[in-house]
A and B are shown apart, each in its own frame.
Chain A
């Protein structure tokens, strides 16, 4: 984990999160996950390991899936960020959120936001991935509860149901 130097001054960082423009004051090397959680109150992004292994803190940055625990806040300047809070709209679940619910893709729930964002990213790149491509696409996101089978089912089901908007 990177610890911001106490002597360093904070700077203004502006980006868009879930379609909303925000400006925060943060140390340039502060982790994006901390800015999202502590400054913006977006606690749906979870920390599992702090070293980019578990994927629980996955968010989309300019359409790319990133581990927000490895991204310095400064790097987010000017970027479009999507977190789990940005997927459901007006109380309606996004397709993947619904299929995760239906298929048993969420158990304890701590990996779920990152897992759903990884799946969202996968389906946005390839609408109908094979099972192997789903396995591969989610292999950067660890889940200790499900053994993944019902997560894979949920993603395949969302893919069958069509566009993931």
Chain B
């Protein structure tokens, strides 16, 4: 195959055939001889002290394996950023899904009964359920001040802008929790063997996160813990951290029983107990000139982190850095904090803080436009970042970005101007109201700041005697296309056919640590390393005189055979090195926050039903610049899938909380979009032409989660003339707002009548 024919084409999904035939094996499809089934006994109170645990009558308790905190061989924690989250509650309970006991039995039908038969008596302590209460500190539920993390980002001197501002525009915006709702529930199988140590197989995103957590929990050395990712049925961030908890539970039961133990959550346990997107509150205060230029602003960004720290500091960081969007802020001050509450910890979900802060910003831009009498597109045009300008962290934009062109193109593709005019006219009549709204945004690819340097990811590529090549990474496939794209990159680099390259199953005993599969980093960061490692193979063969500059598949095979005969194996490793111009000051939050940004403008068209108040997204245009598109079908799938989740985030998916516990943990009453609920979604890619790593690709996975919600709510405002600040925006919210407006209008006409 000729160079340039694999990357950029839609080769068949690597594991696709197994998926369409039902042969793909997910964790619940695996059976081990003598396997027991595990279950978790959880707290049902938000905060308290465990006083007594009673095992009810009617069950043969001696047949059950029972594990409590005292059975933990190592440290009772789920190691991540801070060791504050226990694996099993030991005396204290901090949220209503806190694991207290573990049970295992050969008959899985007995487990739900057993869990129900156990009573945990607690002395209640006063809980905290929202951000405002947590900030008041009437109760200290975490650390000294209920604050997991706070950041201050400053650029210029924002205190000096208010006096000269023609306008000062303020707003407060909130977003709710959102469940990832991958269709495959979480699950793990653990096996412990005194000789070989501990092995877990599971549905997960980050094998080495689980590895690290198990070493500490079980007090085992690195060599004696093995983590294997099996086919994973969706994740979206929801299998970044909680799998470490479930793996720990399965491991403890396996160690105590000496038998394989499988834990599979049912849907309700998965929805109520595992992580969800952080609820957020963002306050904006912006100084604007009468020409519509942003002079400066203050942003206060707050997240509800739940009961333990988990990933909240990192989600907060990304949300805060994205809170200024794709605009030029000469002066800005961002205060960000993540606070504690007595609900299960919130965690990673596609977008990772950015959908929250960008919802606020892109609603606020429309508010500024309205206050100044500008159009939504005009206010954005006047404030876009340009090449050579600096972001809020002082990062100089090096790329040839052309956001004005991107916006104009999106407006053209969506027929925005004509529709806006048409809807304004038609909305004068009764009946259905229509509107059109836009959002402009960005998403940073890879870990923030020095994150990639700390990770120091390693990737391997090996060639075998038969000329077949294998990519060795801990980067996981859970639908996004990791397997396919990394094989494309290796094949392209080695001038081989796509079919000649395979990818190893992520297994900590087999693959190096290429970092977690998160942060839109896999193609850009890991892909670049795959390219480097593949080049290493090529150069090794060339330096040994076995291969020329160009070669046939047969020549490559012969060269591999000859090299391996002499040296035993042919393996090339590549490790991440931070580019010299990427400097980050963690102390002051200054410098290059991301190696690259993807840019986008989305346009949503909505209708609002005058009887049901339901909002329907009728049409959606998504235009983005993500660098080189390596696989058009997969890329489009990422964008459409992300937009579908974001439409759910904006309009459908509402978590009902009571005493810190999700009340609607079922697909029956937590509503995600079906095939009947979604509009035609038109996806377009632009390329600004800047060259980047790994064939010019930037991150793509999270971007489409960021922009739809504000575009939709902006469109609802366009339709109704009423401004909404919170999502999910439910029909009852619209009903209330319209009723309030009607009452106000009635009061005005009544007052007029009295004159």
| B window 19-55: CB within 8 A of A | 19-26, 28-29
Among candidates B23, B185, B232, B640, residue contacting A150 with C-beta atoms closer than 8 Å: B640
- For the complex formed, measure the closest distance between the CB of B253 and the CB atoms of chain A, giving whole angstroms: 20
- For the complex formed, measure the closest distance between the CB of B499 and the CB atoms of chain A, giving whole angstroms: 14
A136 to B645, CA, bound (A): 19
Return the chain A residue nearest B111 by Cβ: A3
Return the chain A residue nearest B635 by Cβ: A104
* B637 pairs with A46, CB closer than 8 A: no
Return the chain A residue nearest B107 by Cβ: A6
Among candidates B234, B640, B668, B676, residue contacting A149 with C-beta atoms closer than 8 Å: B640
* B19 pairs with A135, CB closer than 8 A: no
- Cβ contacts B52-81/A at 8 Å (1 or 0 each): 000000000000000000000000000000
Q: Is A17 at the interface (CB under 8 A from chain B)?
A: no
- For the complex formed, measure the closest distance between the CB of A103 and the CB atoms of chain B, giving whole angstroms: 7
* B22 pairs with A83, CB closer than 8 A: yes
* B183 pairs with A43, CB closer than 8 A: no
A15 to B45, CA, bound (A): 47
Q: Is B417 at the interface (CB under 8 A from chain A)?
A: no
Return the chain A residue nearest B271 by Cβ: A49
Among candidates B20, B640, B642, B672, residue contacting A101 with C-beta atoms closer than 8 Å: B20
Return the chain A residue nearest B666 by Cβ: A51
- Cβ contacts B221-258/A at 8 Å (1 or 0 each): 00000000001111110000000000000000000000
Asked, given contacts A44-B23, A145-B641, A149-B681, whether A108 binds B672 with beta carbons under 8 Å apart, the answer is no
Enumerate chain B residues within 8 angstroms of A141, measured Cβ to Cβ: 675
Q: Is A116 at the interface (CB under 8 A from chain B)?
A: yes
Return the chain B residue nearest A110 by Cβ: B233
Asked, given contacts A101-B17, A108-B478, whether A148 binds B267 with beta carbons under 8 Å apart, the answer is no
* B13 pairs with A101, CB closer than 8 A: yes
* B633 pairs with A104, CB closer than 8 A: yes
- Cβ contacts A97-133/B at 8 Å (1 or 0 each): 1101111101111111100100000000000000000
Q: Is A159 at the interface (CB under 8 A from chain B)?
A: no
Enumerate chain B residues within 8 angstroms of A3, measured Cβ to Cβ: 109, 112-113
* A46 pairs with B233, CB closer than 8 A: yes
| Size of B's binding interface in residues, CB under 8 A | 59
A113 to B21, CA, bound (A): 7
- For the complex formed, measure the closest distance between the CB of A37 and the CB atoms of chain B, giving whole angstroms: 8
* B15 pairs with A109, CB closer than 8 A: yes
> Which has the most chain B C-beta neighbours within 10 Å: A45, A147, A149?
A147
Return the chain B residue nearest A53 by Cβ: B667
* B234 pairs with A112, CB closer than 8 A: no
* B113 pairs with A109, CB closer than 8 A: no
Enumerate chain B residues within 8 angstroms of A108, measured Cβ to Cβ: 182-184, 232-235, 478-479
Return the chain A residue nearest B668 by Cβ: A53
Among candidates B12, B19, B183, B676, residue contacting A139 with C-beta atoms closer than 8 Å: B676
* A109 pairs with B231, CB closer than 8 A: yes
- For the complex formed, measure the closest distance between the CB of B201 and the CB atoms of chain A, giving whole angstroms: 14
Q: Is A4 at the interface (CB under 8 A from chain B)?
A: yes
Q: Is A146 at the interface (CB under 8 A from chain B)?
A: yes
Among candidates B28, B480, B667, residue contacting A107 with C-beta atoms closer than 8 Å: B480
Among candidates A56, A116, A150, residue contacting B633 with C-beta atoms closer than 8 Å: A150
Return the chain A residue nearest B477 by Cβ: A108
A136 to B109, CA, bound (A): 36
A131 to B225, CA, bound (A): 50
Enumerate chain B residues within 8 angstroms of A98, measured Cβ to Cβ: 20
- For the complex formed, measure the closest distance between the CB of B347 and the CB atoms of chain A, giving whole angstroms: 17
Enumerate chain A residues within 8 angstroms of B236, measured Cβ to Cβ: 144
Return the chain A residue nearest B28 by Cβ: A47
A89 to B356, CA, bound (A): 48
| A window 57-115: CB within 8 A of B | 83-85, 87-88, 93, 97-98, 100-104, 106-113
- Cβ contacts B616-654/A at 8 Å (1 or 0 each): 000000000000000001101100111111000000000
- For the complex formed, measure the closest distance between the CB of B186 and the CB atoms of chain A, giving whole angstroms: 12
Q: Is B609 at the interface (CB under 8 A from chain A)?
A: no
Q: Is A152 at the interface (CB under 8 A from chain B)?
A: yes
- For the complex formed, measure the closest distance between the CB of A73 and the CB atoms of chain B, giving whole angstroms: 14
Enumerate chain A residues within 8 angstroms of B20, measured Cβ to Cβ: 93, 97-98, 100-101, 106, 109, 112, 116
Asked, given contacts A101-B12, A107-B480, A110-B233, whether A142 binds B672 with beta carbons under 8 Å apart, the answer is yes
* B675 pairs with A144, CB closer than 8 A: no
Asked, given contacts A47-B28, A48-B183, whether A85 binds B636 with beta carbons under 8 Å apart, the answer is no
Return the chain A residue nearest B647 by Cβ: A147
| A window 24-39: CB within 8 A of B | 37
- For the complex formed, measure the closest distance between the CB of B721 and the CB atoms of chain A, giving whole angstroms: 30
Enumerate chain B residues within 8 angstroms of A148, measured Cβ to Cβ: 640, 644, 674-675, 678
Enumerate chain B residues within 8 angstroms of A48, measured Cβ to Cβ: 183-185, 267, 667
- For the complex formed, measure the closest distance between the CB of A10 and the CB atoms of chain B, giving whole angstroms: 12
A104 to B11, CA, bound (A): 10
* B672 pairs with A144, CB closer than 8 A: yes
Enumerate chain B residues within 8 angstroms of A46, measured Cβ to Cβ: 26, 183-184, 233
Asked, given contacts A93-B17, A142-B674, whether A50 binds B267 with beta carbons under 8 Å apart, the answer is yes
* A53 pairs with B666, CB closer than 8 A: yes
| B window 95-141: CB within 8 A of A | 109, 112-113
| B window 664-699: CB within 8 A of A | 666-668, 672-676, 678, 680-681
Asked, given contacts A44-B23, A101-B12, whether A107 binds B479 with beta carbons under 8 Å apart, the answer is yes
A101 to B15, CA, bound (A): 10
Enumerate chain A residues within 8 angstroms of B233, measured Cβ to Cβ: 46, 108-111
A51 to B668, CA, bound (A): 8
A102 to B676, CA, bound (A): 23
Enumerate chain B residues within 8 angstroms of A49, measured Cβ to Cβ: 267, 666-667
* B266 pairs with A50, CB closer than 8 A: yes
Return the chain A residue nearest B109 by Cβ: A3
Return the chain B residue nearest A151 by Cβ: B675
Return the chain A residue nearest B25 by Cβ: A43
Return the chain B residue nearest A136 by Cβ: B676
Return the chain A residue nearest B632 by Cβ: A104
Among candidates A83, A87, A109, residue contacting B19 with C-beta atoms closer than 8 Å: A109
Q: Is B181 at the interface (CB under 8 A from chain A)?
A: yes
* B667 pairs with A54, CB closer than 8 A: yes
Q: Is A143 at the interface (CB under 8 A from chain B)?
A: yes
Q: Is A9 at the interface (CB under 8 A from chain B)?
A: no
Enumerate chain B residues within 8 angstroms of A88, measured Cβ to Cβ: 21
> Which has the most chain A C-beta neighbours within 10 Å: B22, B233, B481, B633?
B22
Enumerate chain A residues within 8 angstroms of B373, measured Cβ to Cβ: none
Enumerate chain A residues within 8 angstroms of B91, measured Cβ to Cβ: none
A22 to B9, CA, bound (A): 45
Return the chain A residue nearest B645 by Cβ: A144
A111 to B641, CA, bound (A): 14
Q: Is B16 at the interface (CB under 8 A from chain A)?
A: yes
Enumerate chain A residues within 8 angstroms of B23, measured Cβ to Cβ: 44
- For the complex formed, measure the closest distance between the CB of A161 and the CB atoms of chain B, giving whole angstroms: 15
Return the chain B residue nearest A112 by Cβ: B19
Return the chain B residue nearest A4 by Cβ: B109
- Cβ contacts B188-222/A at 8 Å (1 or 0 each): 00000000000000000000000000000000000
Enumerate chain B residues within 8 angstroms of A100, measured Cβ to Cβ: 16, 20
Enumerate chain A residues within 8 angstroms of B21, measured Cβ to Cβ: 44, 84-85, 87-88, 93, 97
Return the chain A residue nearest B179 by Cβ: A144
Q: Is A138 at the interface (CB under 8 A from chain B)?
A: yes
Additional pairs, 19, CB under 8 Å, beyond known A53-B667, A108-B233:
A3-B112, A43-B22, A46-B184, A50-B266, A51-B666, A93-B17, A101-B13, A101-B16, A101-B17, A107-B480, A107-B481, A109-B231, A138-B675, A144-B183, A144-B234, A145-B479, A146-B641, A147-B640, A148-B678
Q: Which are the 5 A-B pairs with shortest beta-carbon distances?
A: A44-B22, A110-B233, A108-B479, A109-B19, A147-B644
Can you identify 30 A-B contacts, CB atoms within 8 angstroms? A1-B112, A3-B109, A37-B29, A44-B23, A45-B22, A54-B667, A56-B183, A93-B21, A98-B20, A103-B633, A107-B234, A107-B480, A108-B232, A108-B234, A108-B479, A109-B19, A110-B182, A112-B19, A116-B20, A134-B675, A136-B676, A138-B675, A140-B674, A142-B183, A143-B183, A144-B645, A147-B642, A147-B645, A147-B681, A148-B678
